[in-house]
Amino acid sequence: MTMPMTPSELYRHGLQLLLEKDIPGWVDLWDDNGVLEFPFAPEGWPERLEGKTAVGDYMRHYPDHVDLHDFPDVKIHQTTDTETIVVEMRGVGRLVETDSPFDMTYIAVVTVKDQRITSYRDYWNPLAVQQPGADFAGAN
């Protein structure tokens, strides 16, 4: 029997799945009723996705838009709630359609219960989608 993963370990495992373009594997880390929120979503982008199915639908085409190469500078901070972490990180790669560089900074607040993500608030920079040549910054 394997030891259960801590929220930090589960999160790092999820990053590896994203680098491997294993979106179904990443979605499997979610609780059926998990909520993904984008508090800074620009107009026309989703602000809240409710449930594993909605998260999966949203992320399904992510590798078609963003070719992730690395997550440098991942810093995970434990909160006083053992199930909740705060993550600071960068995602780097390239935008598939334009072959231009992708470099996004994120702060995420993630809650994991019973080895599944139940809440993920993604504070990515919406200004990046408004910069010339940056037609895609989130999974849309």
pLDDT digits (tens, 9 = 90+) for 44-72: 889 999 999 999 999 999 999 999 999 99
The pLDDT, as a whole number, for residue 43 is: 86
- In this predicted structure, the answer to whether residue 110 has a pLDDT above a threshold of 90 is yes
Total length of the chain: 140
Over range 120-139, report the average pLDDT.
Answer: 65
CA–CA separation, 19 and 91 (whole Å):
10
The pLDDT, as a whole number, for residue 135 is: 43
pTM: 0.88
Token pair recorded at residue 64 = 């078609």
What residue ranges define each of the domains in the chain, with the CATH number in brackets? Answer: 7-130 (3.10.450.50)
